[in-house]
Structure 1
Amino acid sequence: MKTVKTALLILGLLFLGITISVAQNQFPSQVWHKGNIYAADGQVYGGNIKYDLENNVVQLQDQTVDTFTATNVTYFELYDEIYGGVRKFFSLPYAQGSDYATPIFFEVLTEGDDLALLCREYVATDSRGMGGYGMMGGYGMNPFYGPSMMGQRLAFKFYFLKNGKIEQYSMKKKDLFEMLPGHDEQISLFMRKNRLDYDKRGDLLRITAYYNELNQN
C-alpha cells in the first residue's frame, strides 16, 4: 500500500510539472486562471478565467463557459499561478482612434490618489528571432521572463490615468516626466540609483509608485 501511495504521489507531481511546463509555453491570455468577475449589475462570478484584451472579453469557466464583455463588467481579478500574484483588470471608457469613448479593459499596475499606471498587453511579432516577455513586475515586483514562441512575444502599451483622463504613454523618457510632473530631480535620482528604465513594465511600476509617494508628502 505504501508503494502504491508513493507511486500516486510521484505521478501527481509529474502531472503538475507537465501542466506548469505547458502553461509556461503559453502567453498569459491563453491560460485559465482562478479568479472572479464583478459584473456591472453587482453580481460576482467565480471560477476559471481567461481574458482577451484584443476583443475586450473575459470568459468564465464553471459549469459552462460564459463570455462577458467590457460593457457589462466593472472589473475582474485573477491569480496568476505560473508567475505569481493577483492581477486586476478594470473596464474604463477610452476613445481608440476616435472621439467616441467605449469601455475597454485595462490592467491596473499601481495607483495612488493622483495617478494610476495602466497597461494593455498584446502578442507582437518578434522580428529579432529571439526575445522575451520582458520585465513584467506588478506581482509584488516579481519579474518574469520567457522565450519568444514561434516568432511571437508579449508586448505592452502603457497608459496613465490622471484627473479622470487616460493618456497613452509614448515610451519616451521626456514624455515620462511630462506625465509625472513636479518631481523631476527626485525621479531622475530614483531611476539612476535603482537602475530603472523608462520603458519596462516593472520599472515603470516602481517609478509611478514612487511618484505617488512623493505627492503624499
Structure 2
Amino acid sequence: MKSTIVKIWILAFLLVLGAGAVSAQNQFPSQIFHKGNIYGTDGQVYSGLVKYDLVNNLVQLQNETITTFTASNVSYFEIFDEVFGGLRKFYSLPYALNGDYETPIFFEVLTEGENVALLCREYIATDSRNMGAMNTMGMNPFWGPPTMIGYRLAFNYYFFKNGSIDRYSLKKKDLFDMLTGHDEEISLFMRKNRLEHDKRGDLLRITAYYNELNKN
C-alpha cells in the first residue's frame, strides 16, 4: 500500500514537472523567468530568477518578492536561458530609440571585440505566412496559444563601433559599410561557410571573424 502511494506521488510529480517544461516551451524567452544576475549601477549584484521586458526596458528579479529595475539603474544583466540554452548578456546603453533624445535601453550582446560589437534587440512578431517555419535564431519556434496567426521571435541588429550604435538594415551592402576594410576576406568567408547577411547566427560568426582580422 505504501509503495503504491509513493509511486503515485512520484508519477504526479513527474507530470507536474513535465507540464512545466511544456509550458516553458510554449512561451518566448521574455515571457518566463530565468536563473540570472542583475548588476546595478550602484555596484550591487542581485541574484535570483530574472525576467526581461525589452519593449519597456525593464528587468524583474524574483526572490521572496518581485523587484523591478529600469535600464537607468542597471549596468547589465545576465540570464541562463534554458529555452534556447546558454548564457545571454544584456547591457544598458544610451540610444535614441524614438526621436533624437538618448535614454538607456537594453541591448543583448551577441559578440564583441576590440573593433566592433554586434548587438540585438528581440521582439515578438506576428507571422501568418507559415506557422511551422523556423525562426530567425535557427532554433525551434515557441508559439503562444493556437490562433489563426502565428508568432515568431524577430530581431533588430546593431553595430557598436567607435562609441556609436548604428542599426543594421539587413542589406548586404550595408553590412560591408559597417565592417569596413576587409571586403574580400569577408566575402570569401561568407561563401566558404555559406553564411547569410541577415541571420542571427551567421551575423555573429561574420562579426567575430571581422574582429579576428583586425587583430592582425
TM-score (norm 1): 0.90
Q: How has the CA–CA distance of structure 1 residues 132 and 57 changed in structure 2, closer, same or farther, with 3 Å as cutoff?
A: farther
Which residue of 1 is the match for residue 197 of structure 2?
198
Per the TM alignment, residue 148 of structure 1 is displaced from its structure 2 partner at its CA by: 4.7
Which residue of 1 is the match for residue 95 of structure 2?
94
> In the alignment, is the contact (CA less than 8 A) between 1:37 and 1:76 conserved in 2?
yes
- Number of paired residues? 211
Which residue of 2 is the match for residue 125 of structure 1?
126
Q: Alignment RMSD, CA only?
A: 1.8
Which residue of 2 is the match for residue 39 of structure 1?
40
Which residue of 1 is the match for residue 187 of structure 2?
188
Question: What amino acid maps onto 1:23 in structure 2?
Answer: A
Question: What amino acid maps onto 2:83 in structure 1?
Answer: I
Give the unaligned 5+ runs of structure 1: 137-142
Give 1:97-112 correspondences, 5 Å limit: 97-112=98-113
Per the TM alignment, residue 5 of structure 1 is displaced from its structure 2 partner at its CA by: 5.5
Q: How has the CA–CA distance of structure 1 residues 135 and 127 changed in structure 2, closer, same or farther, with 3 Å as cutoff?
A: closer
Question: What amino acid maps onto 2:45 in structure 1?
Answer: V
Per the TM alignment, residue 14 of structure 1 is displaced from its structure 2 partner at its CA by: 3.4
Kindly provide the CA deviation profile for residues 16-73 of structure 1, in whole angstroms up to 9, marking residues without a partner as x. 3221111111011001100000000001111111100000000111010010000000
Larger mean Cα displacement after TM superposition, 36-45 or 3-12? 3-12
CA distance in 1 between counterparts of 2:134 and 2:75 reads: 28
Residue 161 of structure 2 is aligned to residue 145 of structure 1: no
Per the TM alignment, residue 128 of structure 1 is displaced from its structure 2 partner at its CA by: 1.1
Question: What amino acid maps onto 2:140 in structure 1?
Answer: Y
Which residue of 1 is the match for residue 58 of structure 2?
57
Q: How has the CA–CA distance of structure 1 residues 213 and 6 changed in structure 2, closer, same or farther, with 3 Å as cutoff?
A: farther
Q: How has the CA–CA distance of structure 1 residues 201 and 83 changed in structure 2, closer, same or farther, with 3 Å as cutoff?
A: same
SS of equivalent to 2:214 = helix
Which residue of 2 is the match for residue 67 of structure 1?
68
> In the alignment, is the contact (CA less than 8 A) between 1:20 and 1:82 conserved in 2?
no
Residue 210 of structure 2 is aligned to residue 211 of structure 1: yes
CA distance in 2 between counterparts of 1:116 and 1:202 reads: 14
Per the TM alignment, residue 133 of structure 1 is displaced from its structure 2 partner at its CA by: 5.7
> In the alignment, is the contact (CA less than 8 A) between 2:28 and 2:142 conserved in 1?
no
CA distance in 2 between counterparts of 1:148 and 1:157 reads: 20
Give the unaligned 5+ runs of structure 2: none
SS of equivalent to 2:114 = coil
CA distance in 2 between counterparts of 1:2 and 1:189 reads: 65
CA distance in 1 between counterparts of 2:192 and 2:141 reads: 27
Which residue of 2 is the match for residue 14 of structure 1?
15
CA distance in 2 between counterparts of 1:214 and 1:2 reads: 64
Larger Rg: 1 or 2? 2
Give 1:131-170 correspondences, 5 Å limit: 131-132=132-133, 134-136=135-137, 143-146=138-141, 148-149=143-144, 150=147, 151-170=150-169
